[in-house]
């Protein structure tokens, strides 16, 4: 294995940009490739096209050091790199549960014809089981060099912690066919392996499945506690205490037991749906039929938040002023893909409410996707004269709001805490009618 492999990263979305920057930070020479000229212009100018704490600083640093550049040329990256990471997206297909693999297929078939020496191509995209074998066949039939090899190396980064998760992953999953491929990957990830990151060596199918299994488990954990929240609402119990209590059992664990509006984003929802679709094709749909419930429980929370708001408005949304705090699918992100907050905002807008949405980072994205909603420039602007405040994404600045201060701005002191992050006693003491999911 070369002492210091040269690296290409195909696809400069969330995963690819983070991976390219972090590989350069580890000391490698890296080229990022994208087919989107506008994205490349931004990146070349040192701008990260999405919000991710710490990433812009790191991009500037590695660009300054000359270790990272960007191109749209597959010929150029083929000439340059010893290891190619494929980091393109696999979104949900329109009107279907299945994942859309067109970008993965395009990346492999654009790269393959240029591969005239033995290199390693590493799939990082989240794909249905069986994709790696197909991409291996594609390389075998279309690459001029017959020794090109494939590996699969899923990525588990969380938005908002992308740099940390990439540089210090919980584990490295290396799906390989040969010892040579294993050695290449061990060389690339040597800095992490030396600092103790566990390595799990697998075949292709397992590597592909690890990612969807992990995300299915996380989604199930969230929907489990949200199902308990429904029961709590019917019994007078408090789901936040319930989560705390069961979370002390180390076998269960407290993390990912925050009941509320549920999961959204570019990963969990589409990954469980794609898993359902793939399981059907494989004839094992029964094995993952519970994921239908996970999805359904998750979506019911959105409807429940709308009901809670409606109760506080005495049954009618018409012409009521509603402040929606949060648009991103979670805090510390500007990502609005499948955002529960915006889904709810749109739903109450359709019911006739006068909705004003505020988010610290996601307003530009929200405006594009929901041009019919109204947006405020600050949380205070959003809540001014409101009949109801709905906290739907738990940004720090919303958690830290003073009920007294906000109380002087609104018309009526009604609040729905869609993420269970406020102290009910404190808000009630300040004269608010406080409602939340899964607690009284």
Cα(first)–Cα(last) distance of the chain, in Å?
61
263 makes contact with ligand UDX (CB under 6 A): yes
Only one of the segments 150-158, 176-184, 361-369, 382-390 lies at the binding site for ligand UDX (rule: CB under 6 A); that segment is 150-158
Which of 50, 80, 256, 290 forms a contact with ligand UDX (CB under 6 A)?
Answer: 256
52 makes contact with ligand UDX (CB under 6 A): no
3 state SS of 174: strand
3 state SS of 310: helix
Q: Between residues 149 and 335, which has the closer beta carbon with respect to ligand UDX? A: 335
State the Cα–Cα distance between residues 124 and 28, nearest whole angstrom. Answer: 18
Residues noted as catalytic: 267
210 makes contact with ligand UDX (CB under 6 A): no
Cα separation values, 362 from 137, 301, 368, Å: 41, 22, 10
218 makes contact with ligand UDX (CB under 6 A): yes
Residue 269 CB, shortest distance to ligand UDX, in Å, is 9
Which stretch of DSSP H or E encloses residue 181? helix 179-188
Cα separation values, 275 from 119, 286, 300, Å: 31, 12, 21
Are 45 and 69 within 8 A, CB to CB?
no
Only one of the segments 65-73, 130-138, 251-259, 305-313 lies at the binding site for ligand UDX (rule: CB under 6 A); that segment is 251-259
Q: Write out the two tokens for 95.
A: 């009107």
State the Cα–Cα distance between residues 369 and 372, nearest whole angstrom. Answer: 9
Only one of the segments 99-107, 115-123, 228-236, 256-264 lies at the binding site for ligand UDX (rule: CB under 6 A); that segment is 256-264
158 makes contact with ligand UDX (CB under 6 A): yes
229 makes contact with ligand UDX (CB under 6 A): no
Residue 69 CB, shortest distance to ligand UDX, in Å, is 26
State the Cα–Cα distance between residues 311 and 417, nearest whole angstrom. Answer: 14
Residue 146 CB, shortest distance to ligand UDX, in Å, is 34
Q: Produce one character per residue of 203-231: b if its CB has 16 or more CB atoms within 10 Å, e if not.
A: ebebbbbbbbebbbebbbbbbbbbbbbbe
Residue 256 CB, shortest distance to ligand UDX, in Å, is 4
Are 200 and 174 within 8 A, CB to CB?
yes
Report how many residues bind ligand UDX under the rule CB under 6 A. Answer: 19
Which of 87, 107, 268, 386 forms a contact with ligand UDX (CB under 6 A)?
Answer: 268
Are 222 and 275 within 8 A, CB to CB?
no
Q: Between residues 130 and 247, which has the closer beta carbon with respect to ligand UDX? A: 247
325 makes contact with ligand UDX (CB under 6 A): no
As to burial, measured by CB atoms within 10 angstroms (0-12 exposed, 13-18 middle, 19+ buried), residue 201 is middle
Residue 145 CB, shortest distance to ligand UDX, in Å, is 32
Of 166, 188, 185, 165, which Cα lies nearest the Cα of 177? 185
Cα separation values, 149 from 49, 135, 166, 203, 385, Å: 32, 10, 23, 13, 62
223 makes contact with ligand UDX (CB under 6 A): no
16 makes contact with ligand UDX (CB under 6 A): no
Mask for 107-146, x = binds ligand UDX (CB under 6 A): ----------------------------------------
224 makes contact with ligand UDX (CB under 6 A): no
Q: Between residues 40 and 357, which has the closer beta carbon with respect to ligand UDX? A: 357
**What's the helix, strand, coil split of the chain in %, to 5?**
45, 15, 40
329 makes contact with ligand UDX (CB under 6 A): yes
Only one of the segments 153-161, 346-354, 382-390, 409-417 lies at the binding site for ligand UDX (rule: CB under 6 A); that segment is 153-161
403 makes contact with ligand UDX (CB under 6 A): no
Of 89, 81, 69, which Cα lies nearest the Cα of 24? 69
Only one of the segments 60-68, 171-179, 263-271, 403-411 lies at the binding site for ligand UDX (rule: CB under 6 A); that segment is 263-271
3 state SS of 258: coil
Q: Between residues 111 and 218, which has the closer beta carbon with respect to ligand UDX? A: 218
Residue 208 CB, shortest distance to ligand UDX, in Å, is 14
Q: Between residues 40 and 341, which has the closer beta carbon with respect to ligand UDX? A: 341
Q: What residues make contact with ligand UDX under the rule CB under 6 A?
A: 156-159, 215, 218, 222, 256-258, 260, 262-265, 267-268, 329-330
């Amino acid at each position: 294995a070369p002492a210091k492999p040269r690296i290409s990263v195909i696809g400069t979305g969330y995963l690819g940009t983070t991976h390219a920057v972090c590989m350069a930070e580890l000391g490698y020479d890296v080229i990022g490739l994208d087919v989107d000229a506008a994205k490349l212009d931004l990146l070349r100018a040192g701008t990260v096209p999405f919000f991710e704490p710490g990433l812009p600083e790191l991009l500037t640093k590695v660009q300054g050091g000359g270790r990272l550049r960007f191109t749209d040329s597959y010929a150029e990256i083929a000439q340059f790199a010893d290891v190619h990471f494929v980091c393109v997206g696999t979104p949900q297909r329109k009107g279907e549960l299945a994942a859309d693999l067109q970008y993965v297929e395009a990346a492999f078939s654009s790269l393959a014809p240029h591969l005239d020496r033995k290199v390693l191509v590493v799939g990082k995209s989240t794909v249905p089981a069986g994709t790696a074998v197909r991409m291996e066949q594609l390389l075998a039939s279309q690459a001029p060099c017959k020794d090109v090899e494939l590996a699969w190396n899923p990525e588990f980064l969380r938005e908002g912690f992308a740099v940390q998760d990439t540089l210090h992953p919980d584990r490295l999953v290396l799906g390989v066919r040969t010892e040579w491929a294993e050695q290449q990957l061990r060389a690339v990830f040597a800095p992490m392996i030396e600092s103790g990151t566990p390595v799990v060596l697998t075949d292709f199918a397992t590597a592909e499945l690890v990612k969807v299994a992990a995300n299915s488990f996380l989604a199930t954990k969230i929907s489990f506690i949200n199902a308990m929240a429904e029961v709590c609402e019917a019994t007078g119990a408090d789901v936040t205490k319930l989560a705390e209590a069961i979370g002390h059992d180390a076998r269960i664990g407290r993390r990912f037991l925050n009941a509320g509006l549920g999961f959204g984003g570019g990963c969990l929802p589409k990954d469980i749906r794609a898993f359902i679709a793939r399981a059907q094709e494989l004839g094992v749909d029964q094995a993952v039929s519970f994921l239908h419930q996970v999805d359904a429980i998750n979506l019911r929370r959105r409807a429940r938040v709308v009901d809670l708001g409606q109760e506080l408005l005495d049954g009618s949304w018409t012409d009521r002023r509603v402040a929606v705090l949060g648009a991103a699918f979670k805090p510390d992100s500007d990502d609005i893909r499948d955002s529960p907050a915006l889904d709810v905002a749109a739903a109450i807008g359709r019911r006739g409410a006068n909705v004003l949405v505020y988010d610290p980072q996601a307003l530009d994205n929200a405006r594009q996707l929901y041009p019919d909603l109204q947006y405020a420039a600050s949380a205070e602007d959003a809540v001014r004269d409101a009949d109801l405040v709905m906290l739907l994404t738990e940004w720090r600045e919303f958690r830290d709001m003073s009920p007294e201060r906000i109380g002087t701005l609104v018309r009526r002191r009604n609040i729905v805490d869609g993420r269970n992050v406020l102290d009910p006693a404190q808000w009630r003491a300040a004269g608010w009618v406080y409602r939340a999911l899964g607690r009284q």
